Amino acid sequence: MVISNLNIKLIEDRLGFINKAIVKFKKLSRLTEEDFLIDDIPSVAESYIRRSLEAMFDIGRHIIAKIAGKGIVEYKEIAKALGNRGIITDRVAERLGLMAGYRNRLVHFYHEVSDKELYLILKNNLGDMEDFVKEIKDFIEEYREHPS
């Protein structure tokens, strides 16, 4: 696989943002549902979820652009391309495809996203983001060892 000018700093910066968000998510996920629903906590969670998803797709878009030499703008296509190229496992690519749909829901159907739904995502789905981060870190490590 030939990769031209992969911007490791860009990828690591985005991973850093995601990791910081995951720390916040873990704290929020330890709250009871009642405490989570107080004040602006759901809004904070929504903002970090949406921005983390954007960071994940920015990473994927950059990697695919450098490997395939073409830009992909559709989020589900980014997920599929990362899986097809072996950058991430099929399981993580499938989960990333679902996250693409959720990102679109947060952006375009925000008025339908409930605070309870955000709470359940924090309780049940943080592992998906952690798996993505781990697999991208593995990819970067492999790239550093065998740049081509």
pLDDT for 136 beyond 70: yes
pLDDT per position as a tens digit, 2-59: 566 899 999 999 999 999 999 999 999 999 999 999 889 999 999 999 999 999 999 9
CATH of residue 118 = 1.20.120.580
State the pLDDT confidence band at 98, using cuts at 50, 70 and 90: very high
State the pLDDT confidence band at 1, using cuts at 50, 70 and 90: low
* 104: in domain: yes
* 96: in domain: yes
* 57: in domain: yes
Q: What is the DSSP string of 35-68?
A: HHTSTTHHHHHHHHHHHHHHHHHHHHHHHHHHHH
* 1: in domain: no
Range of the structural domain that residue 35 is part of: 8-145
Torsion of CA 17, 124, 141, 55, to 10 degrees: -30
* 59: in domain: yes
* 135: in domain: yes
How high is the mean pLDDT of the chain? 93
Other CB atoms closer than 10 Å to residue 42's CB: what's the count?
Answer: 20
* 32: in domain: yes
Domain count, the chain: 1
What predicted TM-score, i.e. pTM, was given to this entire model? 0.92
Find out whether 28 and 132 touch, Cβ atoms under 8 Å.
Answer: no
pLDDT for 112 beyond 80: yes
Torsion of CA 130, 136, 141, 147, to 10 degrees: 180
